[in-house]
Amino acid sequence: MVYPRGPSAQHPTGANFRLQRAASRADVFPRLTAMQKHLRARNFAVFRISGAGVPGKRKLVCEMENWGAESQQYSNLILTSYADALLDHIEVSALPVVWSGTEHMSFVEASEFAPLIKHLPSDLTPFSGLAFPVRLGAMGNGYVVFTAASLSLSSDLMVEQHVRSCQIMTDLLALDERRTVPSETLSEREVACLQLAGDGRISEEVAEALGLSVHTVNAYLGSATMKLDAVNRIQAIAKAIRLGYIH
């Protein structure tokens, strides 16, 4: 499993995957199935981190999988064996995580690139696993996991599937935001203020661009923040991007 050096090896961030259209879970599932096929994996699962920012409350939650009747058993196996390690890893690294099960996973891996992969303890599950960490900052974090008896992976395939994992997680987060956002929509002025604020302009600059007073701009930004159920302006901008109000 060889990762190229240089800019192309950098982990994607949330800004690279701003939502262009609304996705549905019916859209996401076949995309995960296609990734599974490319990786020649047996199953997949998407784990999200809940309770982020609250000490002692972080946990991995399985959002989507194709394990069938054994879904709860396999999810629990991964969580029992590796939840703490995965939660710790994503705080400090964006490198893929692998572990070997009782049927050992094999990799196409040059020794000089071994430090670019995080290996977890082996033989804690009957299956081997490959987990792509997805770090989207304020948007949310998690893992896209693939399991198999054995995997043989090229560097290009790994990078490609890591990017797709980020896109999958971004779309799932956007779906959650659409379910929780109030029915009251943003006004044109609120959208305009959020767009300029999202471009990095302070209130005074937004006011000058729109021909409004600073007080009025702050009022629009405040009302948009409440409508989006955000805790502050930064989170409101992030939600507005994910919901397609601004870009």
Q: Taking 60 as the threshold, does the pLDDT of residue 220 lie above it? A: yes
Is there a contact between 25 and 168 (Cβ–Cβ < 8 Å)? no
Q: Choose the CATH number for 7-175 among 3.40.50.620, 3.10.129.10, 3.30.450.40, 3.40.1360.10.
A: 3.30.450.40
Identity of the highest mean pLDDT range in 14-23, 74-83, 104-113, 233-242:
74-83
pTM here is 0.64
pLDDT at residue 179, rounded to an integer: 56
Contact 147, 41 (CB under 8 A): yes
Is the predicted pLDDT of residue 141 greater than 70, yes or no?
yes
Q: For residues 5-23, give the mean pLDDT.
A: 38
Average pLDDT of the chain, as a whole number: 81
Rounded Cα distance between 35 and 41, Å, is: 9
Question: Which tops the pLDDT comparison, 14 or 226?
Answer: 226
CA–CA gap between residue 163 and residue 149 (Å, rounded):
23
pLDDT at 7 exceeding the cut of 60: no
- Classified by CATH at the fold level, domain 188-242 comes out as Arc Repressor Mutant, subunit A (1.10.10)
pLDDT tens, residue by residue, 76-130: 999 999 999 999 999 999 999 999 888 666 655 545 556 678 889 988 999 999 9
What residue ranges do the domains of the chain occupy? Answer: 7-175, 188-242
pLDDT at residue 14, as a whole number = 37
d(CA 124, CA 98): 12
Contacting residues for 22 by C-beta, under 8 A, at least 6 apart: 174, 175, 178, 244
- How confident is the model over 23-47, as pLDDT tens digits? 467 788 999 999 999 999 999 999 9
pLDDT at 212 over 80: yes
Q: In what order do the strands lie in the sheet with 43-50?
A: 59-65, 43-50, 141-148, 128-135, 97-99, 118-119
pLDDT in tens, 150-182: 777 777 888 899 999 999 998 887 776 655 555
